[in-house]
A and B are shown apart, each in its own frame.
Chain A
Amino acid sequence: MNDTVGIVIVSHSKDIAKGTADMVRQMVGNEVKVAFCGGNPDGGLGTSVPSIIAAINDAWSAKGVAILVDLGGAETNSEMAVEMLEPVRRDLVVVCNAPIVEGAVMAATEAAGGSSLAQVRAVAEELSAD
């Protein structure tokens, strides 16, 4: 399991994050580590840097972690969370520019085949290409 890129799903809504993670697991079962978080530090809609850091650590893999986000604050807070990781992990985490549900499912499917972090990211980001 440690040979596959981990997937982190960050939504403003915990329900969306969990639902997305459910759809990912339906595709890849336990072949890929998947972690999710949603909601601000008080549990309302929003995102939380400490929760994102915890999710990255939960989904940690030596091959790295790909993060899928929904709207602006999820992206900004995810980028901040990555910068706050210990330096050795920082370069092994990417925030993908991709739709959260489709991106997470495609990224995880790619990861399950043993692809590199760059390949996983590219597959997710193709969804946002013109």
Chain B
Amino acid sequence: MSLQPETFKSLVKVAAEQVISSAPELTSLDQAIGDGDHGINMKRGFEAVLGKLDTISAQPLDEALMMIGKTLVMTVGGASGPLYGGFFLAAGEALSHDKHLPDDLADVFGSGVNAVSARGRSQAGEKTMLDVLVPVLETLKTAAGQPDLIERVRTTAAEAVERTAPMQATKGRASFLGPRSVGHVDPGARSSCVLVQAVCARLEEQK
């Protein structure tokens, strides 16, 4: 798995497009247990990323990730802006400090996950995006270097997002619903799954 500039550009493009086309589903999930703006917010943010894609992909990888992060922070307009934005800012920051892809993928991804956890003051198990990101990070660590890594990451993300349905939310707007948050998939977990799976699908196509 090498990461050439054109590959990176196509990964960002497909991930953004998948989030944008998932906006109605994300909104509908968020209407069930939140304020109903997750789809439109993510769409606004990733449309802004697409609008800058040429500039972003012309940067070195660390700066490109930080530019994606800053764009999301400045345009999303909900808590998901600093959360997803913070993920990319921290991942880019990690790459600028002696981390390299693909060898340090788990470390770089882990820096992003830590940033989300810190910003949201949250851990896995609270019915949030971390309930997808943390299991994905575990798979990146345990399956590093394995030939079926990408497939295992996809499966992990797909299973993890479904596991948020029976959880009771203790963070974010959904926590106001208490036990009534049970039975619905978390919208942030779904958007994380969409992003992870879009990247995996494109990487598998290129194998």
The size bracket of the interface on A is 10 to 19
Segment with Cβ contacts to B, from A18-26, A28-36, A58-66, A75-83? A75-83
Task: Given A46-B77, A48-B77, A49-B74, verify A76-B41 contact (CB < 8 Å).
Answer: no
B79 A40 Cβ-Cβ under 8 A: no
Q: How far is the CA of A77 from the CA of B172 in the complex (A)?
A: 13
Q: Which residues of B contact A (CB under 8 A)?
A: 35, 37, 40-41, 44, 73-75, 77-79, 81-83, 85-86, 119-120, 172-173
A113 at the interface (CB under 8 A from B): no
Task: Given A72-B172, A76-B83, A79-B82, verify A47-B77 contact (CB < 8 Å).
Answer: yes
How distant is A10 from chain B, measured CB to nearest CB, in Å? 12
Whose C-beta in chain A lies nearest to the C-beta of B172? A72
Indicate which residue in B73, B75, B78, B85 contacts A73 across the interface (CB closer than 8 Å): B78
How distant is A97 from chain B, measured CB to nearest CB, in Å? 12
User: Dominant SS at the A interface?
Assistant: loop
Q: Report B-chain residues with C-beta under 8 Å of the C-beta of A44.
A: 37, 40, 77
A42 at the interface (CB under 8 A from B): yes
User: Dominant SS at the B interface?
Assistant: helix
Q: List 20 A-B contacts (CB under 8 A).
A: A40-B78, A41-B44, A41-B74, A41-B75, A41-B77, A42-B44, A44-B77, A45-B35, A46-B41, A47-B77, A47-B78, A48-B77, A50-B74, A71-B173, A72-B172, A73-B81, A76-B79, A76-B119, A77-B81, A80-B119
Whose C-beta in chain A lies nearest to the C-beta of B45? A41
B173 A49 Cβ-Cβ under 8 A: no
Interface residue ranges of A63-102 to B (CB < 8 Å):
71-73, 76-77, 79-80, 84
Q: Report B-chain residues with C-beta under 8 Å of the C-beta of A76.
A: 79, 81-83, 119-120
Q: Report B-chain residues with C-beta under 8 Å of the C-beta of A73.
A: 77-79, 81
